[in-house]
Amino acid sequence: MLRVLIIGATSAIAEATARCYAARGARIFLVARDTTRLIDIAEDLRIRGATNVDHAMLDVNNQPAHAGVLEQAWQKLGGIDVALIAHGTLPDQSACESSVETALAEFATNGTSTIALLTALAPGMEAQGRGVLAIISSVAGDRGRQSNYLYGAAKAAVSTFASGLRQRLAKAGVSVVTIKPGFVDTPMTRNFRKGALWAKPDAVARGIVRAADRGSSVVYLPWFWLPIMLVIKHIPEFIFKRIKL
Amino acid sequence: MSQAGQSWGRYPDAKQSIIAISDRHHGLPATAETILPYGNGRSYGDSCLNDGGVLLHTSHLDRFIRLDVATGVLDCEAGALFSEILDLIVPQGWFLPVTPGTKFVSVGGAIANDVHGKNHHRAGTFGRHVLELELLRSDGSRRVCSATQYPEWFAATIGGLGLTGLITRASIQLRRIASPWMSTEVHRFDDLAGFFQLSESSDRDYEYTVAWIDCAAKGRALGRGLFTRADHAPACPDRRPSAPARHLRVPFVPPISLINPFTLRAFNALYYHRQRQPIVRATTHYEPQFYPLDGIRDWNRIYGPRGFMQYQCVVPPTAAEDCIVRLARIIGSAGGGSFLAVLKQFGALPSPGMLSFPRAGATLALDFPNNGNRTLRLLNELDDVVAASGGAVYPAKDARMSGHRFRQYFPAWESFSQFIDPRFSSSFWRRVME
Ligand SMILES: Cc1cc2nc3c(=O)[nH]c(=O)nc-3n(C[C@H](O)[C@H](O)[C@H](O)COP(=O)(O)OP(=O)(O)OC[C@H]3O[C@@H](n4cnc5c(N)ncnc54)[C@H](O)[C@@H]3O)c2cc1C
Ligand SMILES: NC(=O)c1ccc[n+]([C@@H]2O[C@H](COP(=O)([O-])OP(=O)(O)OC[C@H]3O[C@@H](n4cnc5c(N)ncnc54)[C@H](OP(=O)(O)O)[C@@H]3O)[C@@H](O)[C@H]2O)c1
């Protein structure tokens, strides 16, 4: 039976992913900071077929609490087949430009906390000699753009960290999957005008589950972001400087 | 941020800001403009639109809260879609008590329009199977309403067009089934008298009945069509529920409507003659039986950029045959005709909502490409017949009926008004209150 840990479990993408695992009868451990919603989600997942659902409260920026929560997850699940790290915020870029404090706090939520969690999870996975660490990064981490480079920089840190971790853990038989969604219609992006490039959380969730099943390395979701980002990454700086993105 | 939004009929256009609700324990957002809940946008006209205001999207408010597999009581959040519910309950031997012709509707939307299905003559409307619902108002109050608790709020909210507040969750009584299969019979009939005879005899013995009529046929063939009657099939161990076929999709909006008098006549004639024998019996999966149109995603695009209008009316039993003939003649002489014309007899079970549309009689649903004033004139003519008979037109499918007509069709509108949340409004409501 699949044992799944989800951090940032109240995220729309994470919840949709959890439903896919619940339908397979997985045992699930949910971590997020809003307990009321965790309880609702846990009940929903049980009804959808999860064999067992436990949860714990964690603000990911409270690093000293990480170890305790992860310990609880290892115990309850008795091993981890898939760990998904999904929490995140979409910072107000202009606020990050006018306040160092805001910039660093947002970097902590989207970058540092994830690096801390991965660092804490890695030894257990390594010792177990199997399993998947799936991390939701973003296409925004592929190149810094003026409209949200604080977020982009944090996601770039996560992607780069994951790439190194992947090399390290490959030897132990553990897959590190970097997930790079494009635009997804979730509460995070509630203030955006939605167009043709937008995906639904459940479509992205199916992609995440597929990537985790295969132990893929880096996946763009939906796939068409791969060619788009290929182009964006290769625009020379002297042109990139002049365009608005 | 204001976004262009449309209902299923892709007419009219409206601009509104969207706020997603994902936590049923939170209060309603503070906004300067009026608000309206939005389920899955499967209403055709403007009852799910709020031009210049705010739409509360409930698609993330879609969690299951409790399922009692012994009694078939499902408690879920209001944004849960019928499609998701079916995926959950059918394998456990339960089915929706009432379902419209698409499974892509939310529980909240189904309550707010008090939807009906092909089993209306047996089960009445969806609202009759709602055991309780929670209503959240802009003053922060929450009421758990049922037939015995806050019954007046319950009656106002069922069929209440989203105006009485946000339904956060509801508890529904499901119906037992032995298998996902349906035993179906399709009978050909030559005229409307044939329909009424079949309906009369079938409604006694079959759970689901509905007919398609050829609205492009004239003269003696007027009102010919195919009558379907069906029941849930017993368990048949040799047949495994198959995964539904891959879905087709209309990939873009064609520059002009693909539905015009020529394609329409051809389609109707082909559809009618598809069945050569007078009766065809089959056992089918419930999906194609209940949701034939769901197989083609975004099918509403075929009407082109101007969209289309649905027209669904009900006329009282005593006047039914005569009225339907007159409506069919008006449509026939307008030349346009309707791509899909669906005819069914509602039973006498009372609808629980103050503004519920279903009532005893024959109901006819039609769709017309939007040809501007020509279409509006035609529909007004149909209204004259319906109003004179003492019938009504379905708000869930309406984008054009006059306030005068609405108030005639729904005399309870005045007592309903006192239950409207002062911060709630819709394009539809403003239109019919003019
Ligand atoms: C192909 C097709 C076939 C159909 N067949 C039938 C049929 O056979 N019988 C029938 O009755 N109808 C039928 N309909 C119409 C459809 O069932 C109704 O319009 C239904 O209400 C749509 O549900 P929705 O979730 O999309 O709601 P929307 O269209 O988004 O909203 C409908 C109404 O519900 C309100 N609402 C939505 N959620 C909430 C909530 N949480 N709290 C309070 N109010 C809320 C909205 O404000 C609005 O007034 C059909 C529609 C289509 C497209
Ligand atoms: N939506 C997109 O377009 C998009 C695109 C690319 C990548 N992503 C990434 O996808 C992931 C999921 O996001 P989403 O789109 O599903 O958005 P979402 O629904 O807003 O989810 C974000 C989640 O992160 C949680 N979170 C934020 N700060 C936290 C903290 N300090 N401690 C604990 N949890 C915290 C939030 O919890 P609360 O609910 O309690 O605030 C929320 O559950 C994120 O990593 C995001 O960066 C999203």
CATH code: domain of residue B384? 3.40.462.10
**What is the spatial distance between Cα B245 and Cα A126, in angstroms, rounded to a whole number?**
42
Name the domain count of chain A: 1
Q: Is residue B219 part of a domain?
A: yes
**For the CA atoms of B319, B324, B326, B329, what is the dihedral angle to 10 degrees?**
-170
Domain of residue B379, residue span: 181-236+248-400
- Taking contacts as CB-CB distances below 8 angstroms, the residues of chain B near A12 are 22, 60
Q: Is residue A245 part of a domain?
A: no
Q: Is there a contact between B1 and A186 if contact means CB atoms under 8 Å apart?
A: no
**What is the spatial distance between Cα B91 and Cα A91, in angstroms, rounded to a whole number?**
43
Supply the pLDDT for residue A10: 97
Atom 17 in ligand 2: which residue has the minimum CA distance? A188
The CATH number assigned to the domain holding A57 equals 3.40.50.720
Q: Is residue B121 part of a domain?
A: no
For the cut 60, the answer to whether the pLDDT of residue B241 exceeds it is no
> Chain B contact for A157, CB < 8 A?
no
Q: Is residue A167 part of a domain?
A: yes
Question: In degrees, to the nearest 5, what angle opens at C-alpha B106 toward C-alphas B104 and B108?
Answer: 160
Distance between B176 CA and the closest CA of chain A, angstroms: 18
ipTM of the complex: 0.92
Q: Is residue A189 part of a domain?
A: yes
A220 is catalytic: no
Q: Is residue B367 part of a domain?
A: yes
Stretch B287-296: mean pLDDT, rounded? 89
Supply the pLDDT for residue B237: 63
For the cut 80, the answer to whether the pLDDT of residue B243 exceeds it is no
pTM of the model: 0.95
**Within 13 Å, how many C-alpha atoms sit on residue A238's CB side?**
0
For the cut 60, the answer to whether the pLDDT of residue A29 exceeds it is yes
**Within 13 Å, how many C-alpha atoms sit on residue B411's CB side?**
3
Q: Is residue A50 part of a domain?
A: yes
Q: Is residue B302 part of a domain?
A: yes
Name the domain count of chain B: 1
Instruction: List alpha helices for B141-285, DSSP H.
Output: 151-157, 192-205, 261-274
Q: Chain A residue with minimal CA distance to B1? A: A191
Among A198-207, B34-43, B278-287, which stretch is predicted with the lowest mean pLDDT?
Answer: B278-287
Measured between its terminal Cα atoms, the distance across chain B in Å is 27
- pLDDT one-digit tens code per residue, B60-91: 999 999 999 999 999 999 999 999 999 999 99
Atom 51 in ligand 1: which residue has the minimum CA distance? B42
For the cut 80, the answer to whether the pLDDT of residue B276 exceeds it is yes
By DSSP bridging, strand B73-77 and strand B225-232 are unpaired
What percent of chain B clears pLDDT 90, i.e. is strictly above it?
76
Provide the mean pLDDT of chain B: 92
Q: Is residue A192 part of a domain?
A: yes
Q: Is residue B137 part of a domain?
A: no
> Chain A contact for B3, CB < 8 A?
yes
Confidence band for B275, pLDDT divided at 50, 70 and 90: confident
Contact B92, B69 (CB under 8 A): yes
Stretch A121-141: mean pLDDT, rounded? 98
Confidence band for B247, pLDDT divided at 50, 70 and 90: low
Domain of residue A155, residue span: 3-240
